[in-house]
Amino acid sequence: MLRSEADRLTQVVVSTPDQAYFDTNTHEVNNIPDRPDPTAAKRQHDALKGVLQRSGASVVDVPELVGHPNSVFPRDVALCTPRGYVQLRMGIEARRGEEIWMSQVLEGLGEPCVGRVEQPGTAEGGDIILAGDVAFIGLSRRTNREGADQLSRLLDGMGYEARLAPVSQRYLHLGGPLSVIGERTLAYAEGALPPRLLRGFDVIEVPPCGPSPGNVICLGGGEVIVNVTENEAALERLEQYGFTVHGLNLSEFRKGGGGPTCLILPVGRG
């Protein structure tokens, strides 16, 4: 069960890179500009799993989807909610098919499907942030208005207030400049969103440097994970506010366009 990303992370799905993530024949269509180093990527992914496990989360590591290098970023393909999961629809053609792959994983974990984003809608998990009774939904290059409206209707039925947020072209997803890090607390890249969308929350602003300045995994209980290779400023700012920050080198996943939250699909929090 997952209602808010501020709660303690108890179960998460990851996909350790094996073959697909390093297959340069597929990189151009999958928007992976730089070839990751296999040894370093696997070491970094193991370090991430170690922090997750030590924090008390059950880590479900599933094999990557053949021919889909972006399947190492499972966050995008499904949304887990208090009632079950929503099957999303990728905004990039090359990722279509990952939705079915992840649905099979989640149903194997006992998660029921409570809805699907249907054509012509597109919606990716990096654009959806559940924050207590608020659901932030990004309107981005990957999530269109039709997909956002479908999600809004689904989440409204679960008691969420949907807040649609325009995402600047400098960010791929809403999760680039924004993350939930406490019950009513957000990490937020300065100037990324209209202030009215953040009403009711305490905001810790981080400098808007790089493609994912606000991309932070919330473990719960004041603990977070930050990618130190691109987000030293956020690490320092969150430490100033009393957070326990686990700084990880995730450089090989930045090469694939992903930040820390992209590497995990939260299934359970509480």
pLDDT score of 25: 83
Q: Report in angstroms the alpha-carbon separations of 229 from 54, 239, 247.
A: 22, 16, 9
pLDDT score of 136: 98
pLDDT score of 35: 87
d(CA 227, CA 144): 28
**Locate tokens 């928007």: which residue?**
31
pLDDT score of 231: 86
pLDDT score of 150: 98
Q: Could you list the pLDDT tens digit for every one of the 270 residues in the chain? A: 899 999 999 999 999 999 999 998 887 766 787 889 999 999 999 999 999 999 999 999 999 999 999 999 999 999 999 999 999 999 999 999 999 999 999 999 999 999 999 999 999 999 999 999 999 999 999 999 999 999 999 999 999 999 999 999 999 999 999 999 999 999 999 999 999 999 999 999 999 988 999 999 999 999 999 999 888 888 999 999 999 999 999 999 999 999 999 999 999 999
pLDDT score of 45: 98
Tokens of 154: 């689904």
Instruction: Evaluate whether 124 touches 88 at the Cβ level (below 8 Å).
Output: yes
d(CA 37, CA 179): 28
| pTM, to two decimals | 0.96
Q: Which residues share a beta bridge with 188?
A: 178, 205
